[in-house]
Amino acid sequence: MSSPFQKNTVVQTPSSQQNPAGLGHTLKGLREARRLSLNDVSARLKFSTRQLQALENEDWNNLPSGISLRGLVKNYGRLLEADTTALLVMLESQTGSAPPAPVVIQKSGRPAPSDLAIQGEPVHRPWGWFLVILVLLFVAGFYAIERGWIPDSWLIFDWLKSLKQ
């Protein structure tokens, strides 16, 4: 029964309330369960509160698309310690965006063009650097002996003692 004081009004609700199993509703519930405010989440994720509200209200027109949106959802899920894979599946089902294409790794004996050195630079040069460092250590050692910085007790060879004079 309705009382004469009640009015029949139609209230428009955000789409997250229309779809209680949606991504926005899920994220909002997780955030509220952790007792985090939108400002707390915004400070940690470095996204504005407007963007977070748009995500929780599933207002896809006011959000970035593609990888940026996936990154936002993934970081939000990590912050809330939720299953990020499930959140991304929910995002894809609601926005219709496909995940990025998987990268195919070539398994051949020849190196791929991305594995080759740029501008003909050799890929491995450990011996060259080793020799340069070794020469610098010898020069520094002989200089220290000549300046008298090394004690006589360290000079075990007579020819090293003759360098000190």
Query: Model confidence over 76-120: pLDDT tens digits?
Result: 889 888 888 888 888 888 877 665 566 666 666 665 555 555 565
Q: Which two tokens stand for residue 16?
A: 């997250």
Q: What is the CATH number of the domain that holds 59?
A: 1.10.260.40
Q: Which two tokens stand for residue 75?
A: 């970081």
Evaluate whether residue 103 is within a structural domain.
Answer: no
Query: What digits encode the pLDDT tens for the residues 119-157?
Result: 655 556 677 888 899 999 999 988 888 888 888 888 887
Evaluate whether residue 6 is within a structural domain.
Answer: no
Same domain for 90 and 155? no
Same domain for 81 and 41? yes
Whole-model pTM: value is 0.49
The number of folded domains in the chain is 2
Whole-angstrom distance between the N-terminal and C-terminal Cα of the chain? 114
Q: Which two tokens stand for residue 140?
A: 């520094």
**Residue 41 sits in which domain range?**
15-95
Count Cβ atoms within 10 A of the Cβ of residue 122 and give its class: 0-12 exposed, 13-18 middle, 19 or more buried: exposed
Return d(Cα 15, Cα 25) in angstroms, integer: 9
- DSSP3 helix / strand / coil % (the chain, rounded to 5): 60, 0, 40
67, 100 in Cβ contact below 8 A? Answer: yes
